[in-house]
Structure 1
Amino acid sequence: MKLLLSLFILFLSHSSFATENPTVMMDTSKGQITIELFPNEAPKTVANFLAYIEKDGYENTNFHRVINGFMIQGGGFSADTGKRVDTLAPIENESTNGVSNKRGTISMARTNAPHSASRQFFINHKDNAFLDANVNKWGYAVFGQVTSGMEVVDSIAVVQTAGADKPIQSIVINSIKLLTK
Structure 2
Amino acid sequence: MKKQILFIHGGGEGGYKADTKLADSLRKELGDAYEVYNPEIHFNDTLPDFGWLKQIGKEISLTGEKIILAGHSFGASMLLKYLSENRVQKKIDGLFLAAPPYWSGDEDWKQGIKLHKNFADSIPKDIPIFLYHCKDDEEVPFTHLKFYTQNLPQATVRKITGGGHQFNNDLSFMAKDMKSL
User: What's the TM-score once normalised by structure 1's chain length?
Assistant: 0.27
Larger relative helix fraction:
2
User: What's the TM-score once normalised by structure 2's chain length?
Assistant: 0.27
Question: Which protein has greater RCO, CA pairs closer than 8 Å, 6+ apart?
Answer: 1
